[in-house]
Structure 1
C-alpha cells in the first residue's frame, strides 16, 4: 500500500523563548515492510544539526532555533510504500541486543496486578510456541483495558491504566510491555502512523504499539489497542523503552516558559487520494 503522511506539530510559547533545541525521530527507516519514497521534515527558522542512526536503528535529527520565538511549527510530509509482513520486523539496521529491553521503566514497571495478568494469560501455555505466548499476552491486555480516550494522561503508568481498565494506545502499549517483561520477554514501545479505515476500526493516525522479541522471528509488532499485528496500514517511525523514550519530538527550552501544542496528522492511501481528486 502506498501511504502519504502530513503531520504538523505547532508549539505556542506564553513568553518568547531565547533558544530551542529539539531531537526528532520523525523519519521512517527502510526495512522489509516499508520503503520510503519521499520524506521531508521542515521547521521554518530552524538550523539542522546532527543526523545519526541510533543503536535501535532509528534515524535521529537535531534542530536548534535562536529566539526570541513564540511559535514553532514542525511539518512532516512524505510517502511510504508498505507491505504486510504480519507484524514481523525484518532487515532493520540495529545493534542493540534484545535483552536490553527487559529493563523496563517507571511507566512500564509491573505491579502485582500486571504480574498476575501476565501469569494468567500464559497459564497452560508452557508447551506453546513463543509466538503464541506473545499473542496470548496481547489478547490479555486488549481484554483488560478498553479503548477510551480522554481518561488517561501522558504520564499514566501501565499499572494505573490497568487499574482504571480504560485507556488509549499508549496505555495498551505500556501494559503489554509490562506483562511481557514480567514473563521475561523483551518488549519495546513503537511510534508511527496508522491509516484509518472507513469503518472506524483505527483509532488514531498518530499511533503506538509494542514489539515483542520472538526467538526465530525477531521483533514482532502487536497492536493491543486494535487487537491485531501491524500490517500495510502502518508506518513505523521509531522505538524506545516507553512513550517518552520513543517520542517523535523531544525538546529543551532556554527560559522558564509554558508551552501548548497543537497536532494534526493525516494519513491517506494513494487510492483514497485519487478518489478524493475525482
Structure 2
C-alpha cells in the first residue's frame, strides 16, 4: 500500500520566545514493514541529525533568536507491506530485550492493571495479544480530551476513557506485568472512515515461536488488530515520552497554542486526521522559564 503523508505542526506563543530547543522523531525508516521512497522535513532552522538510544532518527532544532511561532512541515511517501499475523522480521533492535520488561512511570501497574493482565493468563501467541487488546479497548473507550500526554495507564483505566496513547500504555503495563517484553510505537495510520486521527500509537510485543523464531508482533490496541500495511512506523521506545514525534523546551513565550494536522493519501484517496490537541500523542512542549 502506498501512503502519501503530510504532517504539519505549528506552535504559536503569546509573547516572543527567547530560546527554544525541539527534538523531532518524525523520520520513518525502511524496515520489514515499510519502504521509505522519499521523506522531507521543513523547519525554521538547521536540523542536526543523529540517532537516539533506541535507534530512532532524531533531529534537533535550536532557535536562539526571538520568535513567536515554530512551524514544522513533514511530507513523504512510504510503501507498506502486509504482515502475517503481525510478525515483523526485524531483530530486537539496539536495546537489550529485557529493557522492555521494565515498567516506567507511565506504565506502572496498580491492582486493577494487575487484575486485567492476569485475567488474560497467558501471552504466547498473536491471538492472545489481540484478545488482550480487545479487553483493553473494551475497558477504555476511545474519547479524546479526557486524558493528557502525562496521563498514566492506571489513570486511563480508572477513567474508562482515553486515546491511542493510553491504550498502548495499558497494553505495555499488562505485558510487562506478565514478564513479556513490549515497546511503544509512534507513527501514522490510514484512518479510513473512522474518526480517529491519522497520527497514531500502538505496540510491539516480543514473542517466541514466530516464523523465524522469537520476534516482534505489532498490535494496534485501539482497534484490536495487527498493525499491518495501513501503518507507517516512526519511532519506538519504552513509552510515549522517548518516542514523542515532537518534544521541546523553551524560555519565554507565556501561553502556547499547538495545532497539528495530519493527512494520509492512500493510493490517491486523501484521508484527513487533523487534531488541534495533544490527545494523539504527537507533540509536547515544556516551558523552561516563562518570562
Same fold (TM over 0.5): yes
**Does 1:191 find its partner at 2:190?**
no
Structure 1 residues without counterparts, runs of 5 or longer: 274-278
Question: Residue 173 of structure 2 is aligned with which of 154, 178, 182?
Answer: 178
Contact 2:91–2:215 under 8 Å retained in 1:
no
SS in 2 for 1:265: strand
Deviation of 1:135 after TM superposition, in Å, equals 3.2
- 1:26-41 equivalent positions in 2, closer than 5 A: 26-41=26-41
2:54 aligns with 56
Once the two structures are superposed, what CA deviation does each residue of 1:161-207 show, in whole Å capped at 9, x if it has no partner?
A: 11122211111111101111100011111100001113x2x622000
Contact 1:57–1:94 under 8 Å retained in 2:
yes
Structure 2 residues without counterparts, runs of 5 or longer: 271-291
Contact 1:16–1:67 under 8 Å retained in 2:
no
Q: Write the distance in 2 (CA, Å) between the matches of 1:213 and 1:231.
A: 16
Q: Write the distance in 1 (CA, Å) between the matches of 2:176 and 2:70.
A: 38
Of 218-227 and 174-183, the range deviating more from structure 2: 218-227
- 1:1-278 equivalent positions in 2, closer than 5 A: 1-44=1-44, 46-49=45-48, 51-85=49-83, 86-91=85-90, 94-122=93-121, 125=122, 129-198=124-193, 200=194, 203-215=196-208, 216-255=213-252, 257-272=254-269
Once the two structures are superposed, what CA deviation does each residue of 1:196-253 show, in whole Å capped at 9, x if it has no partner?
A: 113x2x6220000111111234121111111101011100000122222210011121
Contact 1:55–1:94 under 8 Å retained in 2:
no
1:276 aligns with none
SS in 2 for 1:38: strand
SS in 2 for 1:159: helix
Q: Write the distance in 1 (CA, Å) between the matches of 2:157 and 2:176.
A: 16
Contact 1:107–1:156 under 8 Å retained in 2:
yes
What TM-score comes out, normalization by structure 2 length?
0.86
SS in 1 for 2:86: coil
Q: Write the distance in 1 (CA, Å) between the matches of 2:91 and 2:74.
A: 22
Q: Write the distance in 2 (CA, Å) between the matches of 1:55 and 1:65.
A: 24
Contact 1:2–1:269 under 8 Å retained in 2:
yes
What TM-score comes out, normalization by structure 1 length?
0.89
Q: Write the distance in 1 (CA, Å) between the matches of 2:218 and 2:117.
A: 18
Deviation of 1:97 after TM superposition, in Å, equals 1.2
Deviation of 1:256 after TM superposition, in Å, equals 6.3
> After the TM superposition, which segments of 4 or more aligned residues of structure 1 sit over 4 Å from their partners?
none
Q: Write the distance in 1 (CA, Å) between the matches of 2:51 and 2:217.
A: 21
Contact 2:130–2:224 under 8 Å retained in 1:
no
Contact 1:10–1:73 under 8 Å retained in 2:
yes
